[in-house]
Amino acid sequence: MAEDGVIYTYLAHPAGSLPSDTSALAQHHTCPQCPLWHRIALWVGWAGNIVLLGAVLVLAVLEGSGCKLCPRHWAPYRDKCYWFSEENEYWSRGRDDCSWRGSHLLVIQDQEELEFTQNLTGNQNPVWIGLNITSQRKNWTWVDGSPLNQTLFTVSGPAEENSCAAVKKNQIKSEICNTHYKWICQKEAVLI
């Protein structure tokens, strides 16, 4: 009977069309089982991922840091990157070029680093480093603002105004800053 445009009907299910017990209902709603080897492969895969994650964590803790990378054409050494110029310019031009590259002229920390840079340059000609006279008191100062440790390194030659340091054959020499030499830039390696 229709009232206000609504039609009602009676539906009856034929006998036996509905499950009569819960086991039949459970069978009706379960998915087919995966083969045993699929389940084993899945568990082995998960176990492998957990082992790899553990190994990465252990290596990170043991190393104390992740991988450190240098830009293309920069030489890595310890935690720093080094770039050697191909052209010759005066000291302040080398300083400015290093700054443009997001670095600074080489600041030598120890004898091993000095030897590394000599291997990099091939002991050819003097190469500008980040050391110069900054005041009338004639004190050698690195471009990072630290004073030269005279017990680690000595600079041969006069310490006068307009003196900059160049390195050749494991020696640091005083040179006139307007002399044209190649230079070495240095920056921290990027932690990834």
Which amino acid does the sequence have at 9?
A: T
Phi and psi of 67, rounded to 5°? -75, 145
Query: Can you give the residue ranges of every domain in the chain?
Result: 22-63, 68-191
State whether residue 187 is helix, strand or coil. strand
State whether residue 94 is helix, strand or coil. helix
Please say whether the structural domain 68-191 has been given the CATH code 3.10.100.10: yes
Query: Would you state the structure tokens that stand for residue 67, as one six-digit string?
Result: 């991988």
pLDDT at 114: 86
Q: What is the pLDDT of residues 99-155, one digit of tens each?
A: 999 999 999 999 898 888 888 777 678 999 999 997 767 789 999 999 998 888 889
| Residue (of 130, 155, 156) closest to 142 by Cα position | 130
Dist CA 99 CA 187 (whole Å): 10
State whether residue 174 is helix, strand or coil. strand
Cα angle 144-124-127, degrees, rounded to a multiple of 5: 20
- The answer to whether 184 and 172 are in contact (CB under 8 A) is no
Q: What is the pLDDT of residues 51-76, one digit of tens each?
A: 887 776 666 555 555 688 899 999 99
Mean pLDDT of the chain: 82
